[in-house]
Amino acid sequence: MRIISGKFKGKKINYNNLQNVRPTTDRTKESLFNILNQHFVFEEINALDLFSGSGNISYELASRGVRKITSVEKNIKCVKFIHDFSKTLDIKLNIINSTTLKFLYITKLKFDLIIADPPYSHTKEKIQDLIDLIFRKKILKKNGILIIEHHKKNIFRNYKHLFDTRTYGTNSLSFFK
């Protein structure tokens, strides 16, 4: 795995010691950020990376100039990895060791961009609950975008906030605002 673009372009992320981590593939990540380039000036936004895992998305955001990034991950080994790797990049991340739902219930923060990559074992209903909570608590700022990476079998057609879905192999990205 590597950082695709920006200040840290080409930097390898060696996450091999982390179990049960499924980082966003380079192909999916590149497509995602090509889409986001059309919506944001990265230096002007704050972002939330839910189910951070190896921190792959957080590093890509930082590489492209996002200065305010919150990474939420429940696995303490992943949290330590994110902390250590962010130090090697000399970036400051707000790293939270918590379940995503617990964080979302207690946070008072608002974000321009939220990217969530829940485990593929999450049911469509659990993902919908996550989306509903984010919109109910108004965690996403006006004109903000929520992106959920999920298995392509979980289809969110006709969902009230959905505006786009892209599929790459077995991965899908669903965009909400």
Look up the pTM and report it.
Answer: 0.94
Q: What is the mean pLDDT of residues 107-111?
A: 97
3-state secondary structure 67-135: CEEEEEECCHHHHHHHHHHHHHHCCCCEEEECCHHHHHHHCCCCEEEEEECCCCCCCHHHHHHHHHHHH
Query: Model confidence over 93-108: pLDDT tens digits?
Result: 999 999 999 999 999 9
Query: Model confidence over 116-147: pLDDT tens digits?
Result: 999 888 888 899 999 999 999 999 999 999 99
Q: What are the chain's domains?
A: 26-176 (3.40.50.150)
pLDDT of 22 strictly over 80: no
Q: What is the pLDDT of residue 27?
A: 82
Q: What is the pLDDT of residue 17?
A: 73
User: Which value, to the nearest 10 degrees, does the dihedral of the CA atoms of residues 35, 46, 74, 127 take?
Assistant: -50
Query: Model confidence over 56-94: pLDDT tens digits?
Result: 999 999 999 999 999 999 999 999 999 999 999 999 999
Strands 94-97 and 111-116, how do they pair? unpaired
151 touches 117 (CB < 8 A): no
Give the three-class secondary structure for 174. Answer: strand
Strands 140-151 and 68-73, how do they pair? unpaired
